[in-house]
Each structure stands twice: as C-alpha cells, then as structure tokens.
Structure 1
C-alpha cells in the first residue's frame, strides 16, 4: 500500500522532514526570510510542552516574568566573550521612523537612534542589569526567574523548527550567593529538561557536560541533553549553564554578605526552544507522517464519522458526540483526555489519512453498523501497519472506554522504548583511535543530508584545551563531526584519548549533528 508521504526517510531524510512539517500541518515558511508561521496543530504541540515544563519550573521555585525584546548595544558589549559568540547572528535596530519619498516608504535618516538596539538573541545582559538593581543583600538571594519569549538569531541556513531566525523558547536566569548553590541550580534544571524530554516527549537523551569549545558564550560550564534522530544525527535538546561570576563582574551584580563584605553573585541560565518539536518529528515520525506521543498530542483520540449523505448519518453523528462526551470525562497521563470529532464534509478515508499524517495517537472510525451495535473501530498510530496492511481493531464501545487511558499510556511508553532501543544500539564504544572514527563515519558528502546512516561514537577523552582543542575541532570539522557532551555519571576512564594519545580522563560523545 502506498505511503501517506511522497518521500520516505530512506530516500531523503531532509525532504521527508520537510514533508512531515507540511503534511502534518505544523508550520510553514513566512514572508520574512528564515522565519516560520507556526500553525494551530504545531502550536498546540508547543503549548502542551510549554505547560508541562512551566509547571515543573514553578515547582522548583522559579517565577515567570518578562523583559524587553530590545537590548541596548552597550549592555551586550559589557561581556566580551558573550558578544563575540553572538555577534554574527544579531539583528540591529538603528532607526525608529519611516517617511514617504516620491510615494515610497523609506527609512527616515533623521530618525537614527542615539544607541542601536539589539533584537534579543538571549537575555543574560538585560536581566543582569535588573539583577544589579534587585540585589543588595544576601537576604535578596537566590533570585529565580524564567521568561517565555521569542528570540532572534540571524541564521543563514534555516529549517522549520530546527533552526530559524526567530524562534520561541523559555530562558531561566538565576542569581546565587555562592558557587555551590549556583552549580546545584544548573544541574537541577538540566534534570528537569531530561525528565520533560524523556517522560513527556518520549525522546531518550544523554545528559552531560559540553567540552570547552562548545560552551555557551561567557559560561564557566555548559551542560546539555543530546537526542539521537532517526538519521543518526544528534540534536541538542536543552542546555543549562553555570556562568560563574563572569556576568556579575561585567554588570556589577553584587551583594553584601553576612560578614558585611561586598561579593559578586554566581549566576546561571538555561533554556529550551521550539526546536523540541523538530526533535519529536525526527525521533518518532514514519513514512506516513508524524507520530505524536499522547502527552503532547493536541487531540489524543480523534473520532471519524463515516458519513454517506444518508438518513442514518444523524445517528452516526449523535453516537460520535456521545462517545466524545464519555471520553472527555476520562483522565489519561494525569490530565483530562483530549478527544475530537472530525465532522468535516470530507470522505472518511481522507480524514483518516489526514489525522494519521498529523500523528493523532488513536483514530476511531465509526460507521452506521458501529453506531447501531455499540462498537468502535480503532487504529493506533504507533502501530498503523502490519506490512502494507492498515491495522484496525473492532471492539465494544464500553471496552474501549474502559481501556482508552491505558492505551494512551502504552503508546507513550512504546514510542519511548522504540527510540531508546535505537539510541542504545547505535552508540559505538569500540573505536579507540581517530583513524578508526574517521573510517567509521567516512568522508562527509558535499550534501550531508544524503549521507548514509551513522550513529554516535563514545570515545576516550583527555580534555585538551587551547590550541590543542582547536586542532581537534579542525580534524572533526573535515568529517562534519562535532563533540556533543561528556556523559554524566561515568566510572573511571580507561585507554588513551583518541585525539591526543594521553591517558583518558573520561569519555565523550562524537556525532554529526543538527
């Protein structure tokens, strides 16, 4: 049987991804280069991710706030390594007015701003300025805030959800009296991200520390969670940064300690973005479209009436509405179950495929015979096919209602376990030299989207720094590889570093990445 998408993952993973975004009605490109319009189904997924994360952020003692979209250039320039990391991606506002010249709108040269404004790429500097005013004593600490916002990083090569010039995210920012408290915060929020991505998005990850060259600009330590996509590439799914006192020194964030001495605050920042939606697509999608974990499906169970422009259609619709009402009374995955009746005047088969492409976890097809006999015909999106055959199961309505919450929980679990098995099976730990790693990955194709599947390598590492680390980057870049993270919870290292030949102190993940 023909697949629902025009391209498969094996044929061209990049084109398949774009097809899923379009056919699942998640988003589309906008008239502004590099930006996207997130459509209701895609935004519904993001809202559910946002709600789950926001709940956990507040449970850990943080409060939401909002800071301006525009940041004075002088604020950005206060932290040299920070501005260097973002300088090539910044959008800058220099004027504040237009005027009409010969019937055309142009920038009014007389409206030049006294100081250029940066369109927010991240908010450490402007939030640090507020911390400077808010904190004067150790009694004011810790400060624990978060904001949900949009940011702009002027990307040259964009892809919907994964890398766009404007995207949505949350960014947490905290200030602490001592290093130990700030470091505990950094690791705590990394664990919150791991829990959200694994338990809610059903995407398995590996948590670890970024090597020096991959740190957030201005950070002392950066930690990440890394997820494996179906093409073997890594996706950085969330980051948490211990900033030390770097930003505090730059912005004079000081407090009077218990002893009366002035001390600099230790700060942190952490964030995830709409990139997570792209990660869900590339982790769970198949050649028929998206498969959504029930926890983030805007509609978990979609009821499709099979209407035929006959008198019995009204009975079918009434049965479907009553079924939805019963489903609405249920709780699944610790939240009210989300059901929907698709009453669009479209052939039932077309509606079925529309919801299959969108990834609705369960689709119920209801015809006149089902309605009169108190039955449902169920299709599970995670087990859509047996070979080329669509798998549907007929069962009494009462039986389905009794098992629906457990079925959704089972689908959530199955998607995670499928992805976890793929992750575990595709990390090589037996390549102990750079030549062996280079042979494994092979020469990167000019168009690396078409390159053959390769997983990750976990290799011995001696933490090179400075010029030696730059050499490592150069060698990896030739193969289009990157250092991902140093997994947490490692035991004693053995062997020699694949780059330096010195005794290894730990292991590091190496992969091609988005």
Structure 2
C-alpha cells in the first residue's frame, strides 16, 4: 500500500458511520486504543489533547470570570463517603471500580475510583463553610473519572476513563443555586455554539434519568449527522440533599443555622467526539478555526530554480500570521509532493491552506483554500492577516450553518406511537411527543427501537427563594429556553403517545450515544 492510500479514509461517513469515525480518529492522529486486556480505554495523542486544552481554556476562563476557583480532590473515595448519599451508590454502583488491596495488604475500607466527586467534595465544603459570608462557594476540578461501562465503547464518546471538569457550588437560597445552574448551562451552550460550531438544544432530563441525588438535571443536546443525540454537558441543581447528607450548613444574618443549596456541573471530552462526528467528512478530520491546533498550513510549491524565492516568501507570510497570533505551519518537506501534503493536512483537519508558488511569490499574492469545501480565494500579501481572519469567519459560518440545517431538519413531531416509532426508524433525529411522565412509557419505546427521552423542555421561571424550582415546562407554556424548532407542544387535550393517559409534558425521543 502506498503512503497516499494509507492516508486516505476508506469508510463512508454516510453508510458506515461507526467504522468511518474510528478510522478518522486513528488516521488523524487523535487516539489509539488501549493495551490488550484494557478494552474501553484509549491513548489520547497530542493532537487530540491540544483540542481538549483549547476547550479547557475556553471554559476555564469563563468559569473564573464568574467566581469559580480550581481545586483538586483525591482519585479515591472511601466507601463510607458514598454510603452517606445512598442515591449516589444506587445510581453508580454498577459502574464503580473498587480498590480492595494496597500492595499485599487488604484495605480496611474499600476505596471507589471516582465515578464523580460529589461525595468527596461535599464533606470539605462542609468544613470550609461556616457563615453566609462564605457563600457562594464555587470550586471546580479538571480531572478524569472512571465508569466501568458495560456498553460498547467509542473513543471520546464513551470510554471507561474520560477527561472532564466538574464544578461544585454552595448557595444560600434555591434561587441563587438555580441561577448558578443556568449560568453553567449557558457556558456549555456557548462552548458548543461559539467554539465548536455545533448548535444545541437545551432542556432537562426526565425525572427518572436525572443525576443520582439531584433535584433537577439540565442538559445541552447535540444532534450528530447519523441522527443520534449526544448529551453535550449537564448542569445539576442538587437541592439540599447533598447538603443534608454531608452537613453543609451556614449561619445566616440572624445567627440561625441553615442548610445550603448546592449544584454540580460537568463537560467531558465527549465534546471532542461531537466535534469530530459533526464536521468531518470522507477526506478526514474537519476543525473550525477556533480550536484547530494549526489554523493555517502554508504549502510552498516550487521547482528547483524557484525554491529559494518561494520558501523565502512563504516564510515572510508565516511571520506575518504568527505576529498576529494566528497558528500557522509551513510544510516545506522535500520528500513529499504538494498533492500528498494537501491530502495529509486535509486529513488532519486544518481549516485553511495557503498555497504559494512562483506566481504568488512574483505577484505578492497568496491562494487560500477552505478545508470544508475547497473554496479558494487569491489575496494580496498586504492584507493577508485581515483576509485570513475573514476566511476563518467564513469557514466557521459554513460549519455552523451545515450543522444547524441538520438539526433544524431533524426535529419532528409524532402524535401516535406508530408515528414515533416510524419516524425514528426512518429518519432518526429528535421526535417530540406528548408524554404522561411515566418511565414505563419510555421503556416501552426503548425496548422496541432503542430510543429514549433525551430531554424535556426546560422552564427557567424562578424569581426568588420561595419559588419552587420546576425543571419542566407546564402544559402549553411558551416559557422555554429550548431554541430552534424546540420547545413544548400544545398539550391541551393531548394524550401520551404510548399509554393514552393525559399528557403532562413534551418529550424529545432520540437514539443516543
């Protein structure tokens, strides 16, 4: 097999999505599968880790602007800590990895390898919080967690160990905690839409699928090109359950002891899986300029007699871009021809290619080529920085628009069980239906077609601490933060599509990763 053949993607995104995705991940040098005997683990290569660092930087900056401080808590959690919040044990127990022995000695108490950190962070919030003056308290950690998934794993989408951030906060009132919950959801939405060029829907998880121990779990959901949904990030209003279990209390202005209201929120490297799946194509990885390790690759094209002139001109262009903080790479390898270089950088997802040959060097121009669709434009050197920034904006808009069109065209409505099953079976995507609120009706659909309720519309109508926090939009309400074609159905006189009992909510069914 030639180098050119080895570079190419052999699977079709449309027809063999899973195999195509795995091939892009490996050939674009994002990840390798873990050692034999460690199914479900991956080796994250530098290129993918840099993508994760850019997600981290984007979010970390916004967290800190809103009062969050980073901390670090142990990888291991004593079993007794988990038992203090029984819902955590019941929710995660099948996926928890346990350490029972250290060296040759059996431990007196088992240690859980953290599946999440509420039970190790909450006891310390309890120690640190004494007075209303200590509130709000906001901490976050960038770390990894382990969940021993029994289902099929897929790099970045679902692995037994994964990277993420998890934030934890404590507040005086439920209204303050709800505002915090929505602030983080806003930041996650921005990460997808303003950094990754992926539009999302916002909503809440149904009652039976919320985070164990939470009062309300909110989510951003992204639709993949194969019609499956990705839970992009979640933000949880935990109520006072964790605070009661771990004695997170404070003394108010009247010197009375009060129980704090807490939140937790997290985004994982599943965002990278969504990035790869959404934008990439049969030539390989496609990245928006906002996150690409190299935003521009310059490919000089020369003959022997013009090499020195072309290379010198290319270096001048690279210096100008570098001075403008544009991430630029010159590919001046002698051993590879321009066609090979084009294919290799397309495979790696670089958003913009600058082609410079003898004509460009003589005329003081640069030919710029868009990765997503091959559109090209010739610009003057005198405005190269401005022109490149313009092309970045154009490329980002193309990627976002394509993803938005996919989302908009794949939100459908079903009023009967047969319509729901038929629509998901034929088209995938999101199908919104009237729902009675009972888990058994979701289970009936899940058993038949492997689709589940990924979200219900979300109400953000909380004005003060006396208001009850209702995560779900009431029947017929227009008060919803779900964008695009989302939102609630008019449930007046509607019945559940499964059981025919009165419908209380709008459910979004989809197959999911």
Same-fold status (TM-score > 0.5) = yes
2:349 corresponds to: 359
SS where residue 294 of structure 1 aligns? coil
**Separation in structure 1 between the aligned mates of residue 48 and residue 156 of structure 2, nearest angstrom:** 10
Task: Check conservation: 1:206, 1:487, Cα contact below 8 A.
Answer: no
Find the counterpart in structure 1 of residue 32 from structure 2: 28
Tell me if the contact between 1:20 and 1:290 (Cα under 8 Å) persists in the aligned partners.
Answer: yes
Pick from 410, 413, 438: which aligns with 1:426?
Answer: 410
Q: CA deviation at 1:453?
A: 4.7
Cα distance between partner residues in 1 of 2:273 and 2:205? 22
Structure 2 equivalent of residue 201 of structure 1: 196
Q: Is the Cα contact below 8 Å between 2:367 and 2:378 reproduced in 1?
A: yes
Match of 2:43 in 1: 37
Aligned to 2:418: 435
Mark the CA change 1:307 to 1:70 in structure 2 (over 3 Å): closer, same or farther.
farther
Determine if contact 1:304/1:363 at 8 Å carries over to the other structure. Answer: yes
Verify: 1:481 aligned to 2:451, yes or no. Answer: yes
The answer on whether the counterparts of 2:9 and 2:283 sit within 8 Å (CA) in structure 1 is yes
Q: Name the SS for the 2:317 alignment partner.
A: helix
Aligned equivalent of 1:325: 319
Structure 2 unpaired stretches of 5+: 459-479, 481-486
1:373: which partner in 2?
Answer: 363
Rate the CA distance shift 1:441–1:284 in 2: closer, same or farther, 3 A: same
2:118 maps to what in 1? Answer: 124
* Shift in CA distance, 402/255, structure 1 to aligned 2, threshold 3 Å: closer
CA distance in 1, matches of 2:393, 2:107: 55
> Tell me, which stretches of 5 or more residues in structure 1 are unaligned?
98-107, 331-335, 385-390, 443-451
Q: Distance in 1 between matches of 2:383 and 2:397?
A: 21
2:205 matched to 1:210? yes
- Please say if residues 280 and 292 of structure 1, whose CA atoms lie closer than 8 Å, have aligned partners that are also in contact: yes
Shift of 1:393: 4.0
Alignment correspondent of 1:6: 10
Aligned to 1:449: none
The within-5 A match list for 1:384-423 is 384=374, 391-423=375-407
Q: Give the whole-Å Cα distance in 2 for the aligned partners of 1:213 and 1:424.
A: 27
1:472 to 435, 442, 449: 442
Match of 2:327 in 1: 338
**Structure 2 counterpart of 1:259, from 249, 254, 257:** 254
1:126-165 to 2 correspondences below 5 Å: 126-156=120-150, 157-165=152-160
SS at match of 1:75: helix
Q: How many Å separate the matches in 1 of 2:310 and 2:173?
A: 65
Moved more, 3-12 or 116-125: 3-12
Measure the CA separation in 2 of the matches of 1:264 and 1:395. 63
Residue 239 (str. 1) matches residue 223 (str. 2): no
Task: Find the counterpart in structure 2 of residue 511 from structure 1.
Answer: 510
- 1:159, distance to aligned residue in structure 2 (A): 1.0
Give the C-alpha shift of residue 242 in structure 1: 0.7
2:220/2:233 contact within 8 Å kept: yes
Contact 2:424 2:431 in 1 (8 A): no
Q: Does 1:168 align with 2:158?
A: no
C-alpha separation in 2, matches of 1:503 and 1:411: 47
CA contact (8 A) 1:240 1:268 kept: yes
- The 8 Å contact of residues 423 and 431 in structure 2, kept in 1 or not, is answered as no
Aligned residues: 476
How many angstroms apart in 1 are the aligned matches of 2:436 and 2:15? 39
**2:79 aligned partner:** 73
TM, length-normalised to structure 2? 0.89
- Counterpart position of 2:437: 463
C-alpha RMSD over aligned residues: 1.9
Deviation at 1:374, TM superposition (A): 2.2
3-state SS of paired residue (1:382)? coil
SS at match of 1:439: helix
Displacement after TM superposition at 1:510 (Å)? 0.5
User: Alpha-carbon deviation of 1:124?
Assistant: 0.3
1:208-266 deviations in Å (ceiling 9; x for gaps): 01101210111111000000000000000000001111111111212222223222211
SS at match of 1:365: strand
Partner SS for 2:221 = strand
Closer, same or farther in 2 for the Cα pair 1:114/1:201, shift >3 Å?
A: same
Structure 2 CA distance for partners of 1:145 and 1:47, relative to 1, 3 Å = same
Deviation at 1:194, TM superposition (A): 0.6
What are the Cα deviations for residues 413-447 of structure 1, in whole angstroms up to 9, with x where unaligned? 22111111110011112x101122122234xxxxx
Show the counterpart of 1:447: none
Which residue is 1:290 aligned to? 285
SS of 2:287's equivalent?
coil
Aligned residue in 2 for 1:446: none
In structure 1, C-alpha distance between the alignment counterparts of 2:156 and 2:504, rounded to whole Å: 36
1:95 aligns with 2:95: no
Superposed CA offset, 1:156-176 (max 9, x none): 321111111111110000011
Q: Judge which range, 178-187 or 455-464, deviates more.
A: 455-464
Offset of residue 509 of structure 1: 0.8
> Which runs of 4 or more aligned residues in structure 1 lie more than 6 Å from their structure 2 counterparts after TM superposition?
none
| Alpha-carbon separation, structure 1, partners of 2:148 and 2:230 | 20
- Partner residue in 2 for 1:497: 496
